[in-house]
Structure 1
Amino acid sequence: MNNAKRIEILKRLRDSNPHPKTELHYSSPFELLVAVTLSAQATDVSVNKATAKLFPVANTPRAITELGVEGLKHYIKTIGLYNNKAINVVALSQKLLDDFDGQVPENREALESLPGVGRKTANVVLNTAFGWPTIAVDTHIFRVGNRTKFAPGKNVQEVEEKLLKVVPAEFKVDVHHWLILHGRYTCIARKPRCGSCIIEDLCEYKDKLYPDS
């Protein structure tokens, strides 16, 4: 795919959604960090249902550590992998208290030093909480990048590197949200909704689907 196509795709996505936001519910960098950690291999809907009950009770590192692993499990047991996630969220809360004065650091290395926090989670927090032009690549973005040929890569790291290279600066802060929402609702895994896609004519997917044809 050439750069002219990529820019037109980005312009269309921007025009359709000028101010994209994460679908995870949060009101502070710490709430976002917890929500993103819980969202691994889980839907945003399931995370939001759990945090709607958790955050009114515990939404700070101190409150989470006081709740403890068993107490936290009570609130997140409907989320996949909740046992390990509870351990990680309590541990990262303790580390924030011990090493960062209870504040979520605006620093990649510091974020990735937290239990259960990898590059993707750090990218989301830096982008969504602090406005950094980072691009977190999840399964949706990996699929869209490869299927459309916008940013093909063999793994998430390659797709991220490609996106950082080809996406102009003016689009970088929002492109993560545009692509994830596009993958979640239009360029879905099994049967992409090509007939209702606003970038269908620019996409280079060879097996486009048109249910009404």
Structure 2
Amino acid sequence: MRFRTATTAFGMLLAMGLASCTTTSETKTAGNAPAKVETAEIFTDSYGKTTDSGYALPAIPINRVDKKFHRQVVNYETDRKRGTVIVDTKNRFLYYVLGNGKAMRYGIGVGKQGFAWKGEAYVAWKQEWPTWHPPAEMAERKPEVAKYVEKGMEPGITNPLGARAMYLFNDEGRDTMFRLHGTPEWSSIGTAASSGCIRLMNQDVIDLYNRVRPGKGTRVVVL
């Protein structure tokens, strides 16, 4: 999916509602057998309605989303440094490395573009409430979005990019066309959607956005 971008100031950290518990679930890591993952904290109470930059985000019926895709702190052993983002497209998880064997895990939806690229990149910039410009090929399939190719769809709660977008470039400074972004389509989390890159529930992408600092020091690893 092709987007136009604009630089943005770093967002202020939002207060997060916590619903702490400890559970054990099973996940599969790339190339490995299933492994037990212990959840230290789960943030199921963080999906209520909220107002963000003047936009009224509706509550997500989180009880209808598989609990493994709820935002949670999990045990996660990696040699990657704190602040690294690891995207597991196969298992529909995004990890933000916290250090000390922990990571914040988010459920994701993966579109065609999400499977089209893998490797390492960095967050070149990020944007609050971005404007959406669909690619021309999408407009050919869906004539109703053709008007947005040039002028773009204004930010809002129905915008396909949701509340936040983060734009990934390779180390040569080229746009990978790979994005981490929000979505109003909460039911697409955990699925392979028809279009887009890596989508998170809006409440989750706001949380991730507030953690990520743009620049080559923030590595994004896409499995």
Range into which the TM-score falls when normalised by the shorter chain: under 0.3
TM-score by length of 2: 0.25
Higher RCO, 1 vs 2 (CA within 8 Å, ≥6 residues apart): 2
TM-score by length of 1: 0.26
Higher helix share: 1
Higher strand share: 2
